[in-house]
Amino acid sequence: MTKRVGMEVSVAIAEAVKLADADVVAVYPITPQTHIVEHLAELVVSGELDAEYITVESEHSAMSACLGSAAAGARTYTATASQGLELMQETLYVASGMRLPIVMTVANRAVSAPLSIWGDHSDVMTVRDTGWIQIFNENGQEVVDNTICAFRIAENRNVLLPVMVHMDGFHLSHVIEPILLSDEEQVRAFLPVNNYPLPLHPSKPVAMGDFAPPFIYTEAKWAHEQALRNSKKVILEVWDAFAKEFGRQYKPVETYCAEGAKTLLFTMGSFSETAMTSIDKMRADGLDIGLVKLRLWRPFPFEELRDVVKGVDTLIVLDRALSTGGPGGPVCSEIRSAFYNLNPRPQIVSFVGGLGGRDITIEGFESIVRSGMEIAKSGSDKEFQIFGVRE
Amino acid sequence: MPKPDNELTWKDLEIGCIVTNPGSAAVYRTGDWRSQRPEYDFSRCIKCGVCQMNCPEDSVKKNELGYYEADLYHCKGCGICSRECPVWVISMKEES
């Protein structure tokens, strides 16, 4: 029976991992960590989840333990945030390069210094090119649903790639929300048994993560690139199957009041919720504005995004990370690049805001939109605008 | 007849470049990295095997006369055997 519960989102994610029947959870249990792993520890101790729970001495070791576990064919889960994700960095490339289906929740948070424990997308942007599938979420329900979908995507024979499920630190990870927790039998039926094709086993030894001299490294990288690009097909299939089974549909690019709008605001993550309320207010005031929300960060949904901006004059992109000394918003620079060859192409205005846990209010989004429209009209000599900074 | 390694395309690779015949590194010729090769004066050799124990690449083997000798297909010429030999059997010579 599906239950509707009021639950901290991190705790609900742990419940989703239990529903997915993970075999191995390898985590660094100390800060920067979320309640996900605390609750998973409780579930394992109480016997509700039959899994190996490995506590390790760092996030680098957490991901390393996950590599071994996934290579042996176990359904493998971990979670981290901010500095922890940074410390994992080199092993993230190993997980994807070795094509190991690991699922990881990342509570997106700022990176020190100065020390900040609050949310933004700085940590995510440093792992952009690690070759993982990366999914963004707006609210607790979406994180729970996509945690379940992530296992089915990652372990699919035609994918075999690790998946990061992103949620905004604190704005999602530490809030209590109403969550629909699905029936265990229904989730287990939705998730086939993990059947990794060439697992480590004494009866059939294989070597993983081996040496690739220059004559083969390019081919190996291209195979990874193809796998990540082609994973989109399976991601869409899994989201459709999820919608059929559980009634909630996810798409790589989602929109709100975007039909026919000449100006679109672009957001990622939990800020999309406030942005929607702001859009309602602006439309009531007669502004021709809609919202586009990116769910699938990798593989990047070029076609879907290009479809959404057909007929759009202005696209105002909000980034919650700063590419210091560079083009400003890392997401916006990808959008600019993706649309460069479009003819006609919308004016693109880049904003950076919501850094290190700073909220953007309904009025804040309105101010971003109004000044974005102004800049689109009159032009600006700046690569990007920073929102809300005190001069 | 399998393709030579340098003709493999990306489609020929196993998932994640997994190697399904472990130990295949033995066919990889590391000997051509060598800039110096070990040369032996077996008249002094006491067959103690210290050179074999210290070889980081396991490329020192006993020959048919019981002397220890590097397999030049794999020996990278690091010179550790020459340094460790207690009776100065091994000298390192520049490869031409």
Q: Give the pLDDT mean for B30-58.
A: 96
pLDDT at B96 over 90: no
The residue of chain A with its CA nearest to that of B20 is: A206
Looking at residue B5, what is its pLDDT? Answer: 81
Contact state of B16 with A99 under an 8 Å Cβ cutoff? yes
Domain extent, residue B78, equals 30-94
A47 in contact with chain B, both atoms CB, cutoff 8 A: no
- What average pLDDT does this structure show over A200-204? 94
Kindly give, in sequence order, each residue whose CB lies less than 8 Å from that of residue A92, ignoring residues fewer than 6 positions away.
A63, A127, A130, A132, A162
- B8 within domain boundaries: no
- What pLDDT score was predicted for residue A81? 97
Within A140-299, strands assigned E span: 163-168, 176-181, 253-256, 263-267, 289-294, 296-298
CATH code for the domain in which residue B54 is found: 3.30.70.20
Q: For residue A211, is pLDDT > 90?
A: no
Q: What are the residue ranges spanned by the domains of chain A?
A: 3-246, 254-386
Encoding tokens for residue A271? 């800020």
Residues A223-247: tens digit of each pLDDT:
999 999 999 999 999 999 999 999 9
Q: Is the ipTM of this complex over 0.95?
A: no
A344-350 mean pLDDT? 96
Q: Which of A323, A317, A314 is nearest to A293 (CA)?
A: A317
- Is the pLDDT reported for residue A347 higher than 90? yes
Dihedral of the alpha carbons of A123, A98, A237, A138, in degrees to the nearest 10 = -10
Q: Give me the mean pLDDT over the B65-94 stretch.
A: 97
Closest CA relative to residue A323, chosen from A355, A346, A301, A298 = A355
B-chain CB neighbours of A208 within 8 Å are 16, 18-19
The pTM (predicted TM-score) of the whole model is 0.92
**Which DSSP string do the residues of A83-108 spell out, in sequence order?**
HHHHHHHHHHHHHHHTT--EEEEEEE
Q: What is the mean pLDDT of chain A?
A: 97
Cis check for the bond before A32: say yes or no (omega within 30 of 0).
yes
Do A254-386 and A3-246 have the same topology in CATH?
A: yes
Residue B19: DSSP 8-state: B
Q: Quick check: B13 pLDDT over 90? A: yes
> CB-CB: which of A208, A215, A219 is closest to B18?
A208
Q: A223–B17: do the CB atoms touch at under 8 Å?
A: yes
The distance of B70 to chain A (nearest Cα, Å) reads 23
Instruction: Judge: B15–A198 Cβ closer than 8 Å, yes or no.
Output: yes
Query: Residue A136's pLDDT is what?
Result: 98
Residue among B10, B24, B28 whose CB faces A223 most closely: B10
State the average pLDDT over residues A204-210. 92
CA–CA–CA angle A173, A178, A184 (5° rounding):
90
Q: In whole angstroms, what is the distance from residue A267 CA to residue A291 CA?
A: 8
Domains contained in chain B, number: 1
The CB-side HSE value for A64 (13 A sphere, CA atoms) comes to 10
Quickly name the fold that domain A254-386 has. Rossmann fold (3.40.50)
Which residue's entry shows tokens 């026919």? A260
Q: How confident is the model at residue A49 (pLDDT cuts 50, 70, 90)?
A: very high
The pLDDT tens digits for A137-151 are 999 999 999 999 999
Q: Please indicate whether, in this complex, the C-beta atoms of B18 and A207 are within 8 angstroms of each other.
A: yes
- Mind listing the pLDDT tens digit for each residue in A253-286? 999 999 999 999 999 999 999 999 999 999 999 9
pLDDT grade, residue B1 (50/70/90)? Answer: low
Of chain A residues 90-119, which have a CB less than 8 A from chain B?
97-100
- Kindly state the DSSP code that residue A19 receives in the 8-state scheme: H
Judge whether B65 lies within some domain.
yes
CA gap A349, A372 in Å, rounded: 6
| DSSP bridge pairs for A150 | none
Task: Over range A325-344, report the average pLDDT.
Answer: 95
Residues of chain A contacting residue B22, judged by C-beta atoms under 8 Å apart: 205-207
Give residue-wise pLDDT tens across range A80-133. Answer: 999 999 999 999 999 999 999 999 999 999 999 999 999 999 999 999 999 999
CATH number attached to the domain at A3-246: 3.40.50.970
Q: Report the pLDDT averaged over residues A11-36.
A: 96
